[in-house]
Amino acid sequence: MVLLSGPNLSGNEWKYVKECIDTEWVSSVGSYVNLFEKMLAERAGTNYAVATSSGTTALHTSLHILGVGHNDYVIVPNLTFIASLNSIKYTGADPVLMDVDANTWQMDLDLLEDFLEKECYIEGEHLFHTKDKRRIPAIMPVHVLGNMCNMDRLSDLCQRFHLIMLEDSTESLGSRFKGKHSGSFGLMGCFSFNGNKLITTGGGGMIVTDDESLAQRSKHITTQAKSDRLEYIHDEIGFNYRLTNVAAAIGVGQMEQLDLFLDAKQRMKKFYFEHLGNVGDIEFQGVEEHVDPNWWLFTIKTNKMRQVLTALNNEKLQARPFWVPMNRLNMFVDDIYYNYEDISGQVYSKCVSIPCSTNITEEQMNRVVQIIRSQY
Ligand SMILES: *Cc1c(COP(=O)(O)O)cnc(C)c1O
């Protein structure tokens, strides 16, 4: 089986994990946790980074610390992985599902601006939804597949409408807008190191921020809000969301190879663009000016999506459809879905992700291309 997006553990991972076990520093404190955090902050260009047990818990922690709670709304793209939505629901808030741009598959900023101007009002320093007067404290852009929207424009809208930006950067390690790394635009940003992400720790996540107090609060709340080194004194309801030193050791080994992985993704992208660019009605994800995507999960758009999906999987070349749009899932059918013409649904019905691991060989990509070509 050629995996869609599998791990690539060919560096120092084993050596570092062995060291954790040999020294018995296996749990949630240790030098690898600190080093991994430092490497992420450096890469993202933020002052601080706090490791967490997953991308989902990073998002939940961030929303919680930003004061998002019961009866609030958080604006989020309708086309994302379920974890973005789950983290919002954990806080007691509800999502406002925003449709996506037909070209980039990121949140549609024209639509967002329309929503903010026509459906919301500002009172004091806060944004409210006109219809039910509920507060909209935050927006969670998701850099879908490692692509990004025009972050200048999004930042301007956030400022104009008093929206806190929390970036779901879980798919966009290495992606940049005007040279600035994803995750560093919002007040907080979150990364994921799940097995299928660009780098993996088995499972894990990271919060990045420039704000010292938010970083300290993140560390505190993810460590059961422990407030004394000796006594079991805790000063609020906390979470056990820490990353282990063993996982962080894998992460350090992975971060050492990040630039190699990003190069591999560029080669993969170039290969598929060259060999699939003129096949049938196949289209690729559009990229806005100033965006440098990491090309995390390579996805093509075609009317023959179902045929391509089946043909590849029959040949043990793993392919997956896009996420089912959030507004179609049972838990969210009653939530607001703001759209002109359900672009999410159209993108979903035509998109298929194809094998693109960082260690994919040219021979394997050739097989993928052959199978896809034979469908047209
Ligand atoms: C992977 C992912 C997450 C969650 O990360 P986990 O580490 O799996 O919890 C959140 N949002 C998006 C968009 C993702 O792709």
pLDDT for the residue numbered 46: 98
CA distances in angstroms from 79 to 48, 104, 260, 298, listed in the order given = 29, 11, 29, 16
**Which among 145, 171, 172, 297 is the best mutation to test ligand 1's pocket, defined by most ligand atoms within 8 Å of the CB?**
171
Distance 122 CA to ligand 1 centre (A): 32
Using the predicted structure, report yes or no on whether residue 241 has a pLDDT greater than 90.
yes
C-beta neighbour count of 162 within 10 angstroms: 16
The pLDDT tens digits for 171-196 are 999 999 999 999 999 999 999 999 99
| Distance (Å, whole) CA 27 – CA 246 | 7
For residues 19-45, give the mean pLDDT: 95
Q: CB-hemisphere CA count at 13 Å for 104?
A: 21
pLDDT for the residue numbered 30: 87
Helical segments of the chain, H only = 13-23, 31-44, 55-65, 82-90, 109-119, 151-160, 212-221, 245-255, 258-276, 305-314, 343-350, 362-373
Distance 81 CA to ligand 1 centre (A): 7
Distance 139 CA to ligand 1 centre (A): 17
- What would the DSSP string read from start to end of 73-86? EEEEESSS-HHHHH
Using the predicted structure, report yes or no on whether residue 28 has a pLDDT greater than 90.
no
One-letter amino acid for residue 218 of the chain: S
CA distances in angstroms from 193 to 36, 228, 349, listed in the order given = 12, 30, 28
Would the pTM count as exceeding 0.95? yes
pLDDT for the residue numbered 29: 86
Q: Are 375 and 311 in contact (CB under 8 A)?
A: yes
Fold (CATH) for 13-255: Aspartate Aminotransferase; domain 2 (3.40.640)
Pocket, ligand 1, Cβ cutoff 6 A: 54-56, 80-81, 83-84, 142, 168, 170-171, 192, 194, 205
- The residue nearest atom 12 of ligand 1, judged by CA position, is 81
Using the predicted structure, report yes or no on whether residue 221 has a pLDDT greater than 90.
yes
Residue 45: pLDDT band by 50, 70, 90 thresholds?
A: very high
Using the predicted structure, report yes or no on whether residue 118 has a pLDDT greater than 90.
yes
| Angle subtended by helix axes 245-255 and 31-44, to nearest 10 | 40
For residues 201-230, give the mean pLDDT: 97
Residue ranges of the domains in the chain? 13-255, 258-373
Backbone φ and ψ of 240, nearest 5° = -100, 85
Closest atom of ligand 1 to 83 CA is 10
Q: Are 6 and 357 in contact (CB under 8 A)?
A: yes
**% the chain with pLDDT above 90:** 99
Q: Are 346 and 105 in contact (CB under 8 A)?
A: no
Using the predicted structure, report yes or no on whether residue 232 has a pLDDT greater than 90.
yes
Fold (CATH) for 258-373: Aspartate Aminotransferase, domain 1 (3.90.1150)
Distance 150 CA to ligand 1 centre (A): 22
For residues 55-68, give the mean pLDDT: 98
For residues 333-347, give the mean pLDDT: 97
For residues 144-171, give the mean pLDDT: 98
Give the mean pLDDT of the chain.
Answer: 97
